[in-house]
Structure 1
Amino acid sequence: MAPSALCVRCSLLVLRKGYRAPSSSTWHKYGNAPVRGASTSVFNVFDRGMKRRQKNWAASQANAQQYEYLREEIGDRVADRVFDVARTFPFALDIGSGRGYISRHLTKETVERFVQADVCEEALKRSSASEIPTINVIADEEFLPFKDNTFDLVVSSLSLHWVNDLPRAFQEIYRVLKNDGVFIGAMFGGETLYELRCSLQLAEIEREGGFSPHVSPFTAVNDIGNLMGRAGFNMLTVDTDEIQVHYPGMFELMKDLQGMGESNCAWNRRCLLHRDSMLAAAAIYQEMYGAEDGSMPATFQIYCMIGWKPHESQAKPAKRGSATMSFGELGKVNEMLSKSKKDDA
């Protein structure tokens, strides 16, 4: 079934009872104004309205597919983790789906029905066809317009690093999951683009006597597990991986980031970078990080996370003090096994 683009105002059966979609003015201003239900203590780091415009512009370009290599790769890896779970999911949700980078790798034997949610309507309009019956919904990661206990599986790939209120996003994911449901996601980590960040900072210090942030901040890996645990997830797994992509130069890297819709959208970003500083940064990048073949590597750190919503059927840790062997006796295990083999012989 071909995906159909729907707005959050549609009366889907899965929509939360009593939910009201934000008006158009609220939708475009939620980056710089209080959002319905948002905590006043949340750091408003990113201009979410700007990010939405960046993603819509990138998705509407005629050559948009040539910049999707990272999203394709990570979407494939997330799908592999879904296949690792030996069950069929009747109903699944993809948060920040873009053009369907996860669903295109899944089968209807694994996921029976699928909902793709993203703030970028242009990407949803151009979503790839899938053999899984799919519905597209325009929705914000921090305010999912679905009823409690709706989905058996929630996935996300390279979207959550632009969320201002990450604790709330995890709480929303936890809320819409059914008991014994699983969340499998991937997001950019703190060491992403450290080469570009260092080169720009050194160039600005040299040419202008100070520097401004040009690469958006990322979450630390230890914070991911803490936030998911606070949201209620158990049986947590968080691991990191790195992908290194080689570019002809720094400007080609920046062009690709723009084509991905991954340009910086932090409120404190500096919109203007002087020509001298840019040329100096490119030279520093080449000198400090350039490969022998003349290319410039860019590192993308990926956090991969898995968390389960608790259920009575899940395995539980043994009670404290119930162990029958101390850690000091573990060295005797090999002796016991060797003796058992000799007896059997």
Structure 2
Amino acid sequence: MSQNSHNMNVFDRLAKKLQRDRTAKNEDYHQFNYIKDEVGNRLSDRVYDINRKFKKGLDLGCGYGHVSRHLTKDAVEELVMCDHSALVLEKASIPEDTTINCRKIEVDEEALPFEPESFDLVMSSLSLHWVNQLPSTFSQIMKCLRPDGVFIGALFGGETLYELRGSLQLGETEREGGFAAHISPFAAIRDIGGLLNSAGFTMLTIDTDEISVGYPSMFELMEDLKGMGENNASWIRKLHLHRDTMFAASAIYKELYGNEDGSIPATFQIIYMIGWKPDPSQPKPLERGTGEISIKDLYRLDEVVKNATENMVKQTAKEITHNLEDDDGKKM
């Protein structure tokens, strides 16, 4: 293992790069991009939800351009697309809006080469789950953002492929008396907020979504994961599975999770995150004690709102009556 042990590196980054290089060499590589294309489309919607035109944006771990292809000049004027795999980057689709000034750079997501305060917008779709030191990458993203810049990202969550993980564990235990890690670990949604906060991001928005895809069997699922470049790249991965173990796991998968039509479902949990670099122009929370409703009155919130509305109506009616009386006095 060439990595420093004190860094607690989980993933073999070179192996992951080689796996993704292989996907780019396949003539039908685009057929395996359905998950990443869908998430990229949803992530681009979040860019447009922000009512702002960004001067310079970064697509970090752009893959085959899953997000960038949807961007227009209304969203970003200049775009930098980067990926760890030069072969993938070469085939990445640039924005359909050719008026965007776009360039590609080969970049390792663990070591960003950009100058401080270089971008107004940083996007990353389904790339950062292969980063060993996610807190460090978040800090580097924060550093290269300009004040009031925004980071919009998506990564696979901890519930991703739970059916496959459980089936392989049960099948291997049954056939070999123990099991190894065949599915790479993913971040839990409860951890993402803390990591973003620690990196200095503010005004966080984090939500999760699930995409379920049906496959004829476990073998087609594993073949598609390989085609996506999402096969296991952890240091402790087991390089080979016995044939008996594979068939046992496939049978268990279909028995425990199979659909009525004979297919099997595979769940992909997606964690979406938005974080802003602090700036004095951003809205600030009210100081403690300035609230007009006590938290102890929350159980009777409807009553409090009703009373406040009635008081407001009475006050408004009183002011209108007073103004009318003043107008009558002036006329006389």
Provide the TM-score with structure 1 as the length reference: 0.87
Deviation at 1:176, TM superposition (A): 0.3
Letter in structure 2 aligned against 1:335:
N
Pairing 1:137–2:105 present = yes
In structure 1, what is the equivalent of residue 305 of structure 2? 333
In structure 1, what is the equivalent of residue 330 of structure 2? none
CA distance, structure 2, for counterparts of residue 300 and residue 156 of structure 1: 17
Letter in structure 2 aligned against 1:62:
E
Which residues of structure 1 form unaligned runs of 5+? 1-30, 35-39
Letter in structure 1 aligned against 2:305:
V
SS in 1 for 2:132: coil
For residues 72-87 of structure 1, the aligned pairs below 5 Å read 72-87=37-52
In structure 2, what is the equivalent of residue 155 of structure 1? 123
Which of residues 49, 53, 69 is equivalent to 2:14?
A: 49
User: 1:101-160: CA deviations, max 9, x gaps?
Assistant: 111111111110000111011111112132222111111111111000000000000000
In structure 2, what is the equivalent of residue 194 of structure 1? 162
CA distance, structure 1, for counterparts of residue 245 and residue 296 of structure 2: 60
CA distance, structure 1, for counterparts of residue 282 and residue 244 of structure 2: 59
Moved more, 318-327 or 232-241: 318-327
In structure 2, what is the equivalent of residue 105 of structure 1? 70
In structure 1, what is the equivalent of residue 23 of structure 2? 58
SS in 2 for 1:262: coil
CA distance, structure 1, for counterparts of residue 245 and residue 3 of structure 2: 33
Contact 2:153 2:274 in 1 (8 A): yes
User: 1:298-340: CA deviations, max 9, x gaps?
Assistant: 0000000000000000001112222233224444112332565
In structure 2, what is the equivalent of residue 118 of structure 1? 83
SS in 1 for 2:143: helix
SS in 2 for 1:301: strand
In structure 2, what is the equivalent of residue 17 of structure 1? none
In structure 2, what is the equivalent of residue 32 of structure 1? 2
CA distance, structure 1, for counterparts of residue 29 and residue 50 of structure 2: 32
Provide the TM-score with structure 2 as the length reference: 0.90
Letter in structure 2 aligned against 1:228:
L
For residues 160-309 of structure 1, the aligned pairs below 5 Å read 160-309=128-277
In structure 2, what is the equivalent of residue 23 of structure 1? none
What percentage of aligned pairs have identical amino acids?
Answer: 54
CA distance, structure 2, for counterparts of residue 343 and residue 314 of structure 1: 33
CA distance, structure 1, for counterparts of residue 78 and residue 208 of structure 2: 29
Contact 2:122 2:152 in 1 (8 A): yes
- Alpha carbons of structure 1 residues 136 and 322: separation in structure 2 relative to 1, 3 Å: same
Contact 1:32 1:47 in 2 (8 A): no
What is the number of residues matched between the two proteins?
310
SS in 1 for 2:7: coil
SS in 2 for 1:149: coil
Which residues of structure 2 form unaligned runs of 5+? 318-332
Bigger helix fraction: 2
CA distance, structure 2, for counterparts of residue 32 and residue 182 of structure 1: 35
Deviation at 1:341, TM superposition (A): 5.3
Contact 2:3 2:9 in 1 (8 A): no
SS in 2 for 1:32: coil
Moved more, 124-133 or 42-51: 124-133
RMSD: 1.5
In structure 1, what is the equivalent of residue 323 of structure 2? none
Instruction: From the CA coordinates, give the structure whose radius of gyration is larger.
Output: 2
